[in-house]
Amino acid sequence: MENKNELKQLDFPATMKVNEQDHLEIAGVDTIDLANKYGTPLLIYDVATIRKNIQTYKEALKTYRQNAEISYASKAFASVAMYQVIKQENISIDVVSGGELYLAKQADFPAEKINFHGNNKSKAELEEALDYGIDHFIVDNFHELNMLRDLTDARQQPAKVVIRVTPGVDADTHKYIMTGQRDSKFGFDIQSGQAEEGVKIALETDYLQVEGIHMHIGSQIFDTETYLLAMKQVLKHVKYWEEAFAFQLKVFNIGGGFGIQHTPDEKETVFKQQLETISEGLMSLLDQYDLPYPELWIEPGRSIVGEAGTTIYEIGSYKELSGIRRYVSVDGGMSDNIRPAFYGAEYFGLLANRMTEQTKSEFSIAGKACESGDMLIWDLPLPEVNPGDKLAVFNTGDYTFVMASNYNRIPRPAVVFVEDGKDFLAIRRETPEDFMRFENHLPEDF
């Protein structure tokens, strides 16, 4: 098998290279040194790539002839250190729970740059967000709308809201990450009149300031046609609402969902071109419906952090089934990256300690959890592997650590940030001793 172990298989960041020891190096830091220092599995974030992706979005939004705002969808990866990086880059964030809001507060993230999402916000979460003075509530349903109305009335406290609608389009992505179709748990259905009723109720409420409309069609989307179709559906109704009850669209939040490349066979990342095309299309639609240009908001998450993340595993056991498959197991798996088992996500990897050695065979990378479905990568070309080798799995920055679990009581991994030759332990590795914070011994008289 020909040598494929070069940094040419994916659109790798410029900060990633093979050093003189034939090791993978990220941002001037040897990943094998990091693995020895912090252990494995280890999730490494290249901070320069995060910053570059944010700047790329800022450049792309210059196409739109009105104010625009980037709000990082922190469900992709949330931590205090991550929120601090986002604050340095001067963009907003979305939170979807009291837990994410708590972390943002610990990072001293400015309240005026926080937007609160979620389809089942509790009263306590709404109260905490009002206490902190966040910028916008993305209102998802009548239950939330009524709670927020009652809370703001009781407090006599104004709150800005954006109404989330489902435009009724099907995105070309996995059904688990589609959100814009009518049959969705998210948002007010626009086609049945739910959205119109929600807008009316919000407009008639004393302390709710209705800023605009939110839509989101799904995740890991590479086309632009679905965005354009969804925007057309929404703006058609907005035009009617403007004429019927003087609704003003000050903010149009088109969500996120821009796709990134995880494997050589997947489409290359093109979110800059996507957003430029979407901006041009939105302006054309606004002109068509004779609507003033609102602020354009976007909510990228995966496309900001996905390619910035690399997970390092240590290879352990080996099993060969002659004529069928060669398995190698790593010291992580679905406990730190549930996406392959959850919805068939695919990844690409190389041996971080032997980057340019010629590939000899294909190996299927198994996790250590007690599940047959705990497979990270099927049929990955690699050199002959040995126990102790380090496997780098690329573009794991999105929806991995935040979806990690303690299944089989496996501790969650450490997270390290690297930039300009420096490393920083952003999240320490869990230990079995940490489990005892929540455990109690059964009393003798039970």
Give me the pLDDT at residue 269, please: 75
Give me the pLDDT at residue 198, please: 96
- At position 381, the amino acid (one-letter code) is P
The residue written with tokens 């996406």 in the block is: 339
Give me the pLDDT at residue 168, please: 77
Residue 370 appears among annotated catalytic residues: yes
* Share of the chain residues as helix, strand and coil, in percent rounded to the nearest 5: 35, 25, 40
**CA 319/CA 364 separation, integer angstroms:** 10
Element (H, E) at 419: strand 414-419
**Cβ atoms 317, 267 nearer than 8 A:** no
Neighbours of 40 (CB within 10 A): 22
**Cβ atoms 20, 28 nearer than 8 A:** no
**CA 253/CA 295 separation, integer angstroms:** 8
The residue written with tokens 């057309």 in the block is: 232
Please list the residues that pair with 25 across neighbouring strands.
Answer: 17, 30
Give me the pLDDT at residue 6, please: 61
Give me the pLDDT at residue 171, please: 46
**Cβ atoms 308, 53 nearer than 8 A:** yes
Return per-residue pLDDT of the chain as tens, 446 residues. Answer: 234 446 778 888 999 999 999 999 999 999 999 999 999 999 999 999 999 999 999 999 999 999 999 999 999 999 999 999 999 999 999 999 999 999 999 999 999 999 999 999 999 999 999 999 999 999 999 999 999 999 999 999 999 999 999 987 754 443 433 444 557 788 999 988 999 999 999 999 999 999 999 999 888 888 888 899 999 999 999 999 999 999 999 999 999 988 888 888 887 778 888 899 999 999 999 999 999 999 999 999 999 999 999 999 999 999 999 889 999 999 999 999 999 999 899 999 999 999 999 998 999 999 999 999 999 999 999 999 999 999 999 999 999 999 999 999 999 999 999 999 999 999 999 999 999 999 999 999 99
**CA 323/CA 203 separation, integer angstroms:** 67
**CA 398/CA 419 separation, integer angstroms:** 19
The residue written with tokens 């109704």 in the block is: 237
> What SS3 class is residue 211?
strand
**CA 73/CA 76 separation, integer angstroms:** 6
Among candidate residues 230, 234, 158, the one with its CA nearest the CA of residue 195:
234
Give me the pLDDT at residue 180, please: 42
Dig out the tokens for 62 from the structure: 């210059």
**CA 305/CA 291 separation, integer angstroms:** 34
> What SS3 class is residue 331?
coil
Give me the pLDDT at residue 267, please: 77
DSSP 88-150: HTT-EEEE-SHHHHHHHHHTT--GGGEEE--SS--HHHHHHHHHHT-SEEEE-SHHHHHHHHH
- State whether the Cα torsion 9-221-307-329 is positive or negative: negative
Among candidate residues 314, 312, 335, 331, the one with its CA nearest the CA of residue 423:
312
Burial group, residue 171, by CB count within 10 angstroms (0-12, 13-18, 19+): buried
Catalytic residue among 154, 324, 370, 442: 370
**CA 375/CA 389 separation, integer angstroms:** 18
